[in-house]
């Protein structure tokens, strides 16, 4: 059980305090004081490992099931004895262009906050140290932890959105560069970027409703002074969603423009092919006529017949070349 508990701390009046070794006793101490709460962080617990925590905190079975099985959408559930918030932290490797998502569940109840993390994206280490350096925020209790976790996740969304926009600018520049790469490769790059944008969208857009609910009244276990902080989170999330929409629109526009560009290039290629075919058709036709070997043909017994025929072929081809060149077919 100790391996999955990342940290377990008792806080009194915004300050970290000594606690009993058993977290059940620490929870009892937190509930016996009005200015104390317990914060436990878990990392990918199994059902057996999570069972002890479930019994001690009295968590709802549906919320426990969601915590054990990842792949949840961001949401906020209100139970009789706790709040249950699901977040999806996002990481972005600019070098490889890979987008990774994790899952973060936050339980808030009577004098406790419990965080359960799945995946590699981990904002909680910095959150705990930041909050411990700001006791005036921690005095708001478990709600302060929920706010700080949400704020950190959403602020990181802004960083990921900015990185995606930078990479999108580079993709746009490469699409319209004169040295164009293979069409299949370029379309594949655009669709791969669109897939990353869609994955990012799945993490950010569904979070709007839970954060909006936390800004209003009527949500239990949320300190009334915390609503202003959640409004700040909602404002940042709104900016993120606007950037996600912008990325999606730009990708669609880039793809449409690239396909139109490819259509224009194919038309140019067809015109060039048609022009060269027309120039080769003339000498082919003339040579075909003289190759039929009839006895009575023009200039057949004329000494200059062969050079004159070749000159005619060359003259017609030159005239055609100049006509096509003037019309930008070549």
Last residue of a domain, one of 261, 278, 297: 261
DSSP secondary structure of 246-276: HHHHHHHHHHHHHHHHHHHHHHHHHHHHHHH
Same domain, 59 and 127: yes
Q: How many domains does the chain have?
A: 2
Q: Which domain holds residue 102?
A: 5-261
Q: Where are the alpha helices (DSSP H) in 69-180?
A: 124-132, 135-138, 142-175
Shared domain for 193 and 257, answered yes or no, is: yes
pLDDT surpasses 80 at 295: no
Judge contact between 207 and 87, C-beta under 8 A: yes
Rounded to an integer, what distance in angstroms lies between the CA atom of residue 5 and that of residue 47?
Answer: 14
* pLDDT > 70? residue 303: no
Domain check: are 196 and 294 in the same one?
A: no
201/287 same-domain check: no
Same domain, yes or no, for 30 and 167? yes
Q: Where among 246, 261, 276 does a domain terminate?
A: 261
Name residue, tokens 């709460």: 37
From CA 313, how far away is CA 287, in angstroms rounded? 9
- CATH code, 79: 3.30.460.20
Percentage of the chain beyond pLDDT 70 is 88
**Are residues 149 and 80 part of one domain?**
yes
pLDDT over 90, % of the chain: 27
Show which of 238, 261, 284 is a domain's final residue. Answer: 261
pLDDT tens by residue, 181-208: 566 677 888 888 989 999 999 999 999 9
Higher per-residue pLDDT: 137 or 237: 237
Nearest alpha-carbon partner for 32 in 8, 10, 59: 10
Residue ranges of alpha helices (H) inside the chain are: 23-32, 47-57, 61-68, 124-132, 135-138, 142-175, 183-204, 208-215, 227-290, 305-326
Residues whose CB falls within 8 Å of the CB of residue 311, separated by 6 or more in sequence, listed in order: none
Span 246-262, mean pLDDT?
A: 85
Confidence of residue 233 (pLDDT cuts 50, 70, 90): very high
Highest mean pLDDT among 5-9, 242-246, 273-277: 242-246
Q: What is the mean pLDDT of residues 231-239?
A: 94
């Amino acid at each position: 059980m100790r391996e999955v508990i990342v940290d377990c701390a008792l806080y009194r009046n915004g300050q970290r305090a000594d606690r009993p070794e058993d977290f059940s006793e620490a929870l009892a101490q937190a509930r016996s004081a009005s200015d104390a709460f317990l914060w436990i962080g878990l990392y990918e617990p199994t059902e057996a490992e999570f069972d002890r925590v479930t019994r001690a905190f009295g968590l709802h079975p549906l919320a426990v099931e969601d915590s054990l099985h990842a792949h949840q959408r961001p949401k906020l559930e209100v139970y009789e004895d706790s709040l249950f918030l699901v977040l999806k932290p996002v990481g972005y490797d600019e070098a490889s262009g890979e987008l990774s998502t994790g899952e973060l569940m936050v339980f808030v109840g009577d004098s406790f906050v419990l965080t359960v993390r799945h995946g590699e994206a981990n904002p909680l280490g910095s959150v705990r140290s930041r909050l411990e350096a700001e006791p005036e925020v921690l005095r708001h209790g478990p709600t302060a932890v929920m706010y700080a976790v949400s704020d950190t996740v959403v602020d990181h969304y802004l960083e990921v959105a900015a990185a995606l926009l930078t990479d999108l600018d580079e993709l746009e520049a490469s699409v319209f560069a004169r040295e164009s790469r293979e069409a299949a490769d370029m379309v594949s790059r655009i669709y791969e970027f669109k897939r990353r944008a869609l994955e990012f969208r799945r993490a950010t857009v569904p979070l709007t409703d839970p954060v909006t609910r936390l800004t209003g009244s009527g949500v239990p276990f949320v300190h009334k002074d915390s609503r202003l902080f959640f409004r700040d989170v909602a404002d940042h999330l709104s900016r993120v969603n606007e950037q996600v929409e912008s990325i999606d629109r730009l990708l669609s526009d880039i793809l449409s423009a690239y396909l139109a560009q490819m259509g224009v290039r194919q038309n140019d290629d067809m015109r060039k092919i048609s022009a060269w075919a027309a120039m080769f058709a003339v000498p082919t036709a003339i040579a075909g006529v003289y190759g039929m070997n009839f006895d009575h043909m023009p200039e057949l017994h004329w000494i200059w017949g062969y050079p004159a025929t070749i000159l005619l072929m060359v003259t017609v081809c030159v005239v055609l070349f100049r006509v096509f060149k003037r019309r930008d077919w070549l």
